[in-house]
Homo-oligomer: A and B are copies of this chain.
């Protein structure tokens, strides 16, 4: 066992320092938002109108996705189940409390305070999802201190990108295809590029699954699948927009799922199904509908997007991931580039098409709510006219469809650029010598970081159960998430 992986000093030091910092920052900056503040309640407040009841159901669903869904999905390695599930728990918890502060400073800060409500928690869970997706690229070859450092750096970089894109470029991205999935994918690729381990390209004896870890991982997939409509619709406008987001996500996932089964069978020599496909490729549709999830893309549009995303994702796993590992020194352990990057690009493109095709004929006047930057600016007589049809319509920027489309393109490139650079820098920090990184030998092995129960004996089981040929065969089917 490599002595340098002991967490005895490093992990507590990190946690306790950060806790002191957070206590200071929470004490000075964080207060309640009006919906959570007793003082703001008066005789005109109806308790049932509290924002809690609009946000909490979606928050609860996303909670299950983050902690149970991701947790089970990432427990797919045979000797790395503790690590997958438990590091996910640790990283997620830390990311959320850190994101409350970081996003708070950028998005919820006024009168010298961050105003906290369940809506902040929901936003913070999305920031957390970003970190967990990036985690997928480096799972197995990183320790908990490295992951916390990744979260420590990724969350503020994400928060500033999110803020800049939403405030200055101003885009439509209800399901987060650009800001969440593309950001997370390229950040993860940047980090894993720096953490490149040549020896792992030959396959690692422990880089395998087991019967139980595969089932556990499918359970994670199912929890993500089931609640994905809540994820994609959580931050849309209320009413018909959110309704469409639910429909499109469900339909996209559905078509993506059956496509994944078909592709899995057709590209298997013996015509069998591969669990890694079912654990990952089935979910591609959820990402692919993201950028246009609240638009009038029509049900069949969502269906086709699901198939397209799934297909890209499947071939990404098959050809692109091995290529990147061998030629570009990018070891994308779970293939996040396929599930979040390629699908994110398709989704962003579809979003641009939907923006270009949007007309008042299809959307009615509420087009200026969904595409809020296309609403006429303050003072424009058309604004007053529209406000009679839609009371409360906010003035926009008066952009045309083409202008909005160009801003979307700008946001895509900006996000990819910032996240890649951020990932590279974060990778360098994660690679510093006192980060308790496991040795090449110790990768994919719970024993490095956990006290193990007595029935766990990775070495012996491996000897008994498999020949070295099998090892190599197995390790090539393991790209996940």
Contact across chains for A118 and B243 when beta carbons are under 8 A apart? yes
- Neighbouring B residues of A222 by C-beta, 8 Å: 67-68, 71, 85, 89
User: At the interface, yes or no: A477 with Cβ under 8 Å from chain B?
Assistant: yes
Q: Which of A158-166, A169-177, A224-232, A427-435 contacts B (4 or more CB under 8 A)?
A: A224-232
Q: Which of A207-215, A323-331, A344-352 contacts B (4 or more CB under 8 A)?
A: A207-215
Q: Scoring A residues 24 to 49 as 1 if CB is less than 8 Å from chain B, else 0, what string do you get?
A: 00110011100111111111011110
Interface centre among A89, A298, A453 (most CB of B within 10 A): A453
Contact across chains for B364 and A42 when beta carbons are under 8 A apart? yes
- Neighbouring B residues of A212 by C-beta, 8 Å: 212
Q: Which residues of chain A (1-23) have a CB below 8 Å from chain B?
A: 1, 5-9, 11-12, 14-16, 18-19, 22-23
Contact across chains for A210 and B455 when beta carbons are under 8 A apart? yes
In the assembled complex, the Cα of A117 lies from the Cα of B474 at a distance in Å of 43
Contact across chains for A75 and B453 when beta carbons are under 8 A apart? no
Residue of B nearest to A360 (CB): B39
User: At the interface, yes or no: A312 with Cβ under 8 Å from chain B?
Assistant: no
- Neighbouring B residues of A455 by C-beta, 8 Å: 78, 210-211, 461, 465-466
Q: Which residues of chain A (211-268) have a CB below 8 Å from chain B?
A: 211-216, 218-219, 222-223, 225-227, 229-230, 237-244, 246-247, 250-251, 253-255, 257-259, 261-263, 265-266, 268
Q: Which residues of chain A (264-321) have a CB below 8 Å from chain B?
A: 265-266, 268, 270-275, 278, 282, 296, 298-300, 303-304, 307
- Neighbouring B residues of A149 by C-beta, 8 Å: none
CB distance from A437 to the nearest CB of B (A): 14
CB distance from A81 to the nearest CB of B (A): 5
In the assembled complex, the Cα of A241 lies from the Cα of B37 at a distance in Å of 8
Knowing A81-B215, A208-B453, the reply to whether A6 touches B271 (Cβ < 8 A) is yes
In the assembled complex, the Cα of A465 lies from the Cα of B456 at a distance in Å of 9
CB distance from A57 to the nearest CB of B (A): 7
Contact across chains for B68 and A275 when beta carbons are under 8 A apart? no
CB distance from A313 to the nearest CB of B (A): 16
Residue pairs across A and B with Cβ atoms less than 8 A apart, 17 shown, are A5-B271, A6-B271, A8-B268, A27-B300, A32-B240, A38-B364, A38-B367, A39-B363, A42-B389, A43-B390, A47-B239, A52-B239, A68-B219, A71-B222, A82-B211, A210-B455, A453-B474
**Chain A residues packing against B (C-beta within 8 Å):** 1, 5-9, 11-12, 14-16, 18-19, 22-23, 26-27, 30-32, 35-43, 45-48, 50-52, 54, 56-57, 60-61, 63-64, 67-68, 71-72, 75, 78, 81-82, 85-86, 89-90, 93-94, 96-97, 116-118, 121, 144, 208-216, 218-219, 222-223, 225-227, 229-230, 237-244, 246-247, 250-251, 253-255, 257-259, 261-263, 265-266, 268, 270-275, 278, 282, 296, 298-300, 303-304, 307, 362-367, 370, 388-391, 449-457, 461, 465-466, 470-471, 474, 477
